[in-house]
Amino acid sequence: MNSIGLAIKLGPTDLAKYPFLEEASEYIRETRFAIEELDRPEMDHILRRSVDILETEISAGKVYTNLDKYEIEILSFLVTLIMIKSIDLEPVTKKHSLLEAMRTEKFLTEDLFKEKSLQKKKLLLHKIFQELFEIDIHFDLDLTIFRLSVPDYLMRASKMNEQEWKLINRSVHSGYVYIDTDEAVRLIRSELSNLIYDRIKTMKIPVVPERVKICAEELRKKFSIYCTYRKHHIVSDYPPCIKHAIEMMNTGENLPHSARVMLATYMLTIGKNTDEIVTMFQNSPDYNEKVTRYQIEHLAGNKGSRIKYSVPSCKRLLSEDLCFATVDCENILNPIQFGRKKANTQ
Amino acid sequence: MSLKTSSENSSFLKGLFREYYFKDSNSLVTPSMIEKREFGYMSFDSIMVRHLSFRNKRELIARLVQESPSDVYCSNGYYKFPTNSVQSKEWEGADLIFDIDLKDLNMPCSSEHSFYVCDQCGACNVSFLNACTVCLGRKISRTTIPCRKCLISLKKETQRLIEFLHGDLGIADGSIEIFFSGNAGYHIHVPDSEFKTLDSRARSDLVDYICGNGIMNESIGVRKSKNGFYIKFPKSGMVFGWRRRVASEFGINQSSISKLKRIVESSGGYGQFKEDLSTKAKLIGVRIDPHVTTDIHRIFRMPGTINGKSSLLKVKSTNLETFNPLDSACVLDDRQVYIRSKVNLKLYLHENYFRIKNSIERLPAYAAAYMICKGLADFIK
């Protein structure tokens, strides 16, 4: 979409909903806000709001949906990021990034549904989809259907677990995929989450204001209990691809779908039961016990298609960038042979 | 070349292949960004050499003339360091490639022109045996001489793939390159397109789209309910892609709610319809080799090189309708040589028909090489 012709600008309410946009940073610069000002008592309500946001997200695991005035929203967004940086707990950073992305998803879906002005809708698409993520997305004639290129769609949808996201279940024509408003917004969740995560990680704060430090320290103590990862013992006989996946799980990384399938099918094949495998996935930022259990039972052939899935071959894992072969992997075709080969040589 | 060949066979083929690479190197189609590709080859001793890199076509030809390999491969991927191990090559992208192979078409005529060759002693049979009747070896390879029907079916399947690539995926005809694989299939390349950065998972989704895997009842408006099912067509319509294909198959459109309801009921309800739909989709889909397309680190047969399974060239087709692979891909010398054929066979190659008997035969070198590569004859000095 071409930016030429977008005569209107984002308003204050937009900045309140999308405080990660460049225009919001510009607002902070224009108001000459200095980080030290957070030590002033009149900034207490901003600090309290940031604490509230983090309590809702980390302790309750919910999206913070309250929407305040844009000045408050923009400052709260900034202060929350500073607090997370000071709390310095990786799971908190990841969880906040994900829930903040889901918050944006909610506002953006509503805006694209309810907004009457076509120009305004186009502007939102341009600002969020194209400027942030370089996705060329267009409205279709009736303004409720969007179209984006097949590669842009596949790059994102192939990371979704649900079958409805498969390209075959979409309306596809002449290089474009046609999707609804909520689907278009859902597609960028993971990129939004990464954007916020990167903002936190790259943020440089020379001196954290004392009041922020105090709040952050209290939250750190509180959140530590949620952040004690259940460390799964890495059996030395696991093949390196499985070890790597477990290590990633242990640090709360969001494993891609293919890595989860590999880990679950491997564990099923070596005889672990569903409960044991479900607990392995507890550290995932998007962990949902019910969904995880269903998926494992599905892979085991006890649910859904009743097809028992095998461990993907080494060749397949290599093509999916999940192979971390060592010399011990020589001459094996499937990770499951790794243990057997070792046992045979002992 | 998978079948066991004697040193006489190898030396004959090696000489012919070398001559081709020396005289006709212009037929070699070097890929774009040659310096970023990984090359590899299989020697006549069945030794695979990988992780090679060439700065230009001249360097590559020099190596081919020097080694005269049985098969030559080039990566579909582009790398920062193509000669490193796969983990440290630093992948930058990969051409989209598709493989349509005769074996995946399950042709009913297949048994009429297939032979079973013992990997150990080279003895040949017209029917499948668990063990070789001569040496009792248990490793038997199947070799096939595609007939006219097979070649037509391969073209049709290729044409169906092109329709998906063009109509659904919007890839311009000019960006699609069709090659006869040199044996029994077609390779379709989409070089340097906007698909090049797609990872393996995304390509796997693309494969499922083309093959017709994973279609859901809901995507054509059949939704599950407590009491069975109900029909609600998708908002984005039934006129594009798979929805159009399925709608046309069932004779329905966006307003055929009661007709679709009857179809689902006559199928036996939601669950049975799901199975019927899945079967139908697989029949409509194109039979491509999924592994070729999803593998972003594959080294794939290089265009313009000789296929060691047949001695025919992997050659580009500019007009699939009029293209005859058995003429265009047959590029070797036509001097007369002697072979000992293991079978009786009628063969068409390079605009000539050969009626070959199970005995010593005098043939042009290209036909002799074809028979030897197929494991159906031995070279006689």
Contact B55, B35 (CB under 8 A): yes
Tell me the backbone φ, ψ of residue B115, rounded to 5 degrees.
Answer: -130, 155
- pLDDT for res A341: 52
A150: chain B residues, CB-CB within 8 Å: 168-170, 195, 206
- pLDDT for res A7: 60
Decide if A170 touches B, using CB distance below 8 A.
yes
State the average pLDDT for chain B. Answer: 93
pLDDT tens column, B12-51: 999 999 999 999 888 888 899 999 999 999 999 999 999 9
- Specify the range with the lowest mean pLDDT, choosing from A117-126, A325-334, B312-321: A325-334
- The Cα B251–Cα B244 span in angstroms is 10
For the stretch A120-125, contacts whose Cβ atoms lie closer than 8 Å and that sit 24 or more positions apart, written own/partner, are: A120/A8, A122/A1, A122/A6, A123/A6, A123/A8, A123/A9, A123/A10, A124/A14, A125/A1
Here the tokens at position B281 are: 């989709």
Nearest to A255 by CA among A232, A274, A281, A231: A281
Closest chain A C-alpha to B213 CA, distance in angstroms: 8
Which element (helix H / strand E) includes A65? none
- The Cα B36–Cα B30 span in angstroms is 12
Q: What mean pLDDT comes out for the span B103-109?
A: 94
Is B378 annotated as catalytic?
no
* Facing A167 at nearest CB: one of B205, B234, B295: B205
Report B:111-140 residues touching A (Cβ under 8 A): none
pLDDT tens column, A205-225: 888 999 999 999 999 998 887
- pLDDT higher than threshold 70 for residue B380: yes
- pLDDT higher than threshold 60 for residue A75: yes
Decide if A324 touches B, using CB distance below 8 A.
yes
Nearest to B372 by CA among B49, B16, B130: B16
Q: What mean pLDDT comes out for the span B339-363?
A: 95
Contact A321, B199 (CB under 8 A): yes
- pLDDT for res A15: 86
- pLDDT higher than threshold 60 for residue A120: yes
Residue by residue, DSSP assigns B254-309 as TT-HHHHHHHHHHHTSHHHHHHHHHHHHHHHS----HHHHH-TT-EEEPTTSB-TT
In degrees, rounded to 5, the angle at the alpha carbon of residue B349 between the alpha carbons of residues B347 and B355 is: 30
pLDDT tens column, A26-69: 888 888 888 888 899 888 999 999 999 999 998 888 899 888 88
Q: Which of the following is catalytic: B289, B295, B334, B378?
A: B289
**Pairwise pLDDT comparison (A308 vs B209), residue with the higher score:** B209
B218: chain A residues, CB-CB within 8 Å: 164, 169
Q: What mean pLDDT comes out for the span A249-275?
A: 87
For the stretch A68-72, contacts whose Cβ atoms lie closer than 8 Å and that sit 24 or more positions apart, written own/partner, are: A68/A16, A69/A12, A69/A16, A70/A12, A70/A13, A70/A15, A70/A16, A70/A27, A72/A16, A72/A45, A72/A46
Q: Which of A134, A171, A183, A298 to mutate to test the interface with B (most CBs of B within 10 A)?
A: A171
Q: Which of B50, B92, B195, B199 to mutate to test the interface with A (most CBs of A within 10 A)?
A: B199
Decide if A190 touches B, using CB distance below 8 A.
no
- pLDDT higher than threshold 70 for residue B330: yes
Torsion angle in degrees (nearest 10) through CA of B333, B335, B339, B341: 70
**Pairwise pLDDT comparison (A273 vs A236), residue with the higher score:** A273
Decide if A264 touches B, using CB distance below 8 A.
no
Decide if B195 touches A, using CB distance below 8 A.
yes
- pLDDT higher than threshold 50 for residue A1: no
Decide if B92 touches A, using CB distance below 8 A.
no
* Facing B205 at nearest CB: one of A154, A173, A321: A154
Is B199 annotated as catalytic?
no
Decide if A160 touches B, using CB distance below 8 A.
no
Cβ distance A151 to B195 less than 8 Å, yes or no, reads yes
Q: Which of the following is catalytic: B95, B101, B295, B378?
A: B101
Residue A281: pLDDT band (50, 70, 90) is: confident
Q: What mean pLDDT comes out for the span B147-171?
A: 97
**Pairwise pLDDT comparison (A345 vs A187), residue with the higher score:** A187
How large a percentage of chain A has pLDDT more than 70?
A: 91
Closest chain B C-alpha to A160 CA, distance in angstroms: 10
Closest residue in A to B238 (Cα–Cα):
A171
Cβ distance A319 to B236 less than 8 Å, yes or no, reads no
Cβ distance B206 to A168 less than 8 Å, yes or no, reads no
Report B:306-365 residues touching A (Cβ under 8 A): none
DSSP A311: P
- pLDDT for res B184: 95
Cβ distance A158 to B202 less than 8 Å, yes or no, reads yes
A164: chain B residues, CB-CB within 8 Å: 216, 218-219
Cβ distance B295 to A157 less than 8 Å, yes or no, reads no
pLDDT tens column, B69-101: 999 999 999 999 999 988 789 999 999 999 999
Q: One-letter amino acid identity for A17?
A: K
Q: What mean pLDDT comes out for the span B204-217?
A: 95
- pLDDT for res A346: 45
- pLDDT higher than threshold 60 for residue B3: no
Q: Which of A172, A307, A320, A326 to mutate to test the interface with B (most CBs of B within 10 A)?
A: A172
- pLDDT higher than threshold 50 for residue B170: yes
Contact B181, B143 (CB under 8 A): no
A158: chain B residues, CB-CB within 8 Å: 199, 201-202, 204-205
In sequence order, which residues have a C-beta less than 8 Å from that of residue A13 and are 6 or more positions away?
A: A70
- pLDDT for res A141: 62
Decide if B86 touches A, using CB distance below 8 A.
yes
Contact B310, B151 (CB under 8 A): no
Nearest to B278 by CA among B231, B203, B201, B211: B211
CA distances to A211, A216, A239, B260 from B307, rounded to whole Å, are 73, 67, 36, 49
Nearest to A55 by CA among A85, A101, A99: A99
- pLDDT higher than threshold 90 for residue B293: yes
Q: What mean pLDDT comes out for the span A145-162?
A: 90
Closest chain A C-alpha to B373 CA, distance in angstroms: 28
**Pairwise pLDDT comparison (B119 vs A344), residue with the higher score:** B119
DSSP A324: -
- The Cα A106–Cα A189 span in angstroms is 10
In sequence order, which residues have a C-beta less than 8 Å from that of residue B225 and are 6 or more positions away?
A: none
- pLDDT higher than threshold 90 for residue B177: yes
Half-sphere exposure in the Cβ direction for B357 (13 Å, CA): 4
In sequence order, which residues have a C-beta less than 8 Å from that of residue B21 and are 6 or more positions away?
A: B28, B61, B64, B65, B68
Which element (helix H / strand E) includes B116? strand B114-118
